[in-house]
Amino acid sequence: MMVCKVRIVLEDGMNSIIDDSPGSVDDAVLESSISSSHDSFASPGMDQHQSSVQEQMFTITDFSPAWGFSNQTTKILVTGYFHEQYLHLAKSKLFCICGDAFVLAEVVQAGVYSCMVLPHSPGLVNLCLSLDGSKPISQILSFEYLAPPVHDSVVLSEEKSRWEEFHIQMRLTYLLSSTSKTLNALSSKVSPAKLKEAKKFANKTSNISNTWAHLIKSIEGSRISVAQAKDGLFELSLRNAIKEWLLERILEGCKTTEYDTQGLGVIHLCAIMGYTWSAYLFSWSGLSLDFRDKHGWTAIHWAAYYGREKMVAALLSAGAKPNLVTDPTKENPSGCTAADLASAKGYDGLAAYLSEKALVAQFESMIIAGNATGSLQMTATDTLNSENLSEEELHLKDALAAYRTAAGAAARIQVAFREHSLKVHTKAVQSSSPEDEARNIIAAMKIQHAFRNYESKKKMAAAAHIQHRFRTWKTRREFLNMRRHAIRIQAVFRGFQARKQYRKVIWSVGVLEKAILRWRLKEKRLSRTAS
């Protein structure tokens, strides 16, 4: 319940309404209205909370508003009056206690106070006035903190995500413009092989012009909104800029790309934004899709971290490896795969998909290296006719097939590791003999002895260094003391010499002074005798 205005009946029969603005009611009229009506006035919203007025110094007649949002600072206007025996406290500082906190109550007019209550967790809290911020001097009322609307929080989160995307786009655009090498490519001589490769790349990316035509038709036919048209125009311009940027790298024969200020490359920023077309552009240019940033992350790691499912699929179809591990950190000493990053961010479906692809890729790489045998081809029972199955049954069938594939790859990888471990152990047993064991023991003892000698020599060297430092410090201290005494002796001697010269000067001045006095006296005597 919220009380918006308070109606007060004046002595002369006129009605006055206290508005939100401080200057709407004259101070004298407000004082007379409060003093004349406080005996009979009572707000209907405060009957449950008011305590006995006779026991309080101050009586609150009303306050507005009666509620506020828990995440905002709320301004409250409190009206009331001091009892006759406490009128001398009207000029004192008052504090408004709201819950566990108290704030200063500023005087708006006589009997009207305003205060700014701080954010608080949702629920009912006590509200009263106090002189010291702890002991109430008025009745205790209830103020309600309401939870913020869900729509506002959703709008704020959407606005925040849009700003984050805009910052990524700005970083990508700046990186493309700041690392452009058009002049270098034009001024340098290009080999025929690089020129042929550049023409091949240009032919593969010729479909960008078709995309321009499709965008123009969509705009002319008003098939899309203005915001979608702007986003499409920006993305198409960005695609063309990346194409030109990659063409420069092809002409230069450069297989690595530059980083921005935060250590990310062009492909990493495109993966964060979910630009699926960038995966094919990089694949056609010959640049590696598994190029790592300064933190050891590849494009598929960033796409999995931000839950870009389509970008992950595009990277995998373009040839990216899903089983690569990031650089080790304190939190993850063994590194993280793309599936681990997706699972940590709550993208369980994407994590499961990447886990299956990582196991299959690991098994295939082991087959190529000759460390594993077998295949993961589906059997005839797995390729049944699925025309009569519903959509849910098809999803279930695909999930079971993915599970069987991942389980088969994991089992074969474990078998390969066990075989490798058995081979290594067998070779160690076959090559070992008592003489070799004895030699190993003697070598270990020599190593231990050398290590102990090294430790003792290290400690002795440290002790000698400490002694040398102490002796050097002691010698320097003695030298400084001796120099200090010598300086004092020199100062005393120089003072003695100065005083000696000073006495000579004083004696000379005294002789001169006596001569002048005698001459003056003699002059006076001569003048007297002449007169």
Instruction: With cut-offs at 50, 70 and 90, classify the pLDDT of residue 115.
Output: very high
Q: d(Cα 137, Cα 89) in Å, to the nearest integer?
A: 11
Least confident of 31-40, 101-110, 346-355: 31-40
Q: d(Cα 277, Cα 210) in Å, to the nearest integer?
A: 14
Token pair belonging to 211: 């995309």
Residue whose entry in the numeric block shows the structure tokens 């306050």: 63
Q: What's residue 152's pLDDT?
A: 56
pTM above 0.85, yes or no: no
- Contact present, 120 and 98 (Cβ < 8 Å): yes
| In the predicted structure, residue 163 carries a pLDDT above the cut 60 | yes
Taking 3-state DSSP, the helix, strand and coil percentages for the chain, each rounded to the nearest 5, stand at 60, 10, 30
16-31 average pLDDT score = 35
Q: Tens of pLDDT along 443-493?
A: 888 888 888 888 888 888 888 888 888 888 888 899 999 999 999 999 999
| In the predicted structure, residue 48 carries a pLDDT above the cut 60 | no
Instruction: With cut-offs at 50, 70 and 90, classify the pLDDT of residue 301.
Output: very high
| In the predicted structure, residue 201 carries a pLDDT above the cut 90 | no
Q: 296 — phi, psi (to 5°)? A: 85, 15
More confident residue, 64 or 374: 64
Q: d(Cα 337, Cα 342) in Å, to the nearest integer?
A: 9
Q: What's residue 374's pLDDT?
A: 67
Instruction: With cut-offs at 50, 70 and 90, classify the pLDDT of residue 31.
Output: very low
Q: Supply the DSSP string of 63-89, one letter for each residue.
A: EE-SEEETTS-EEEEEEEEE-GGGGGG
More confident residue, 156 or 202: 202
Strand partners, 114: 77, 106
Q: Tens of pLDDT along 67-94?
A: 998 888 999 999 999 888 888 888 888 9
Specify the DSSP class assigned to residue 178.
Answer: H
Q: Tens of pLDDT along 518-528?
A: 888 888 887 77
Instruction: With cut-offs at 50, 70 and 90, classify the pLDDT of residue 235.
Output: confident
Q: What's residue 486's pLDDT?
A: 94
Q: d(Cα 98, Cα 121) in Å, to the nearest integer?
A: 12
| In the predicted structure, residue 379 carries a pLDDT above the cut 60 | no
What is the CATH number that goes with domain 6-148? 2.60.40.10
- Domain locations along the chain: 6-148, 152-353, 489-523
Token pair belonging to 112: 């009207």
Instruction: With cut-offs at 50, 70 and 90, classify the pLDDT of residue 344.
Output: very high
CB atoms within 10 A of CB 138: 23
More confident residue, 87 or 430: 87
| In the predicted structure, residue 380 carries a pLDDT above the cut 50 | no
Q: What's residue 79's pLDDT?
A: 92
More confident residue, 153 or 120: 120
| In the predicted structure, residue 25 carries a pLDDT above the cut 50 | no
Token pair belonging to 189: 């001589």
Q: What's residue 339's pLDDT?
A: 92
CB atoms within 10 A of CB 203: 10
What is the CATH number that goes with domain 152-353? 1.25.40.20
| In the predicted structure, residue 302 carries a pLDDT above the cut 90 | yes
Token pair belonging to 462: 């440290």
Domains 6-148 and 152-353 share a fold: no
* Torsion sign (Cα): 496, 501, 506, 511: positive
| In the predicted structure, residue 247 carries a pLDDT above the cut 50 | yes
Q: What's residue 431's pLDDT?
A: 66
Q: What percent of the chain has pLDDT over 70?
A: 80
Q: Supply the DSSP string of 210-226, one letter for each residue.
A: HHHHHHHHHHHTT-S-H
In angstroms, what is the C-alpha Rg of the chain?
46
264-291 average pLDDT score = 91
Q: What's residue 1's pLDDT?
A: 32
Q: What's residue 299's pLDDT?
A: 94
Write b or e for each residue in 100-111: b if 16 or more Cβ atoms lie within 10 A of its Cβ, otherwise e.
eebbebeebbeb
Instruction: With cut-offs at 50, 70 and 90, classify the pLDDT of residue 53.
Output: very low
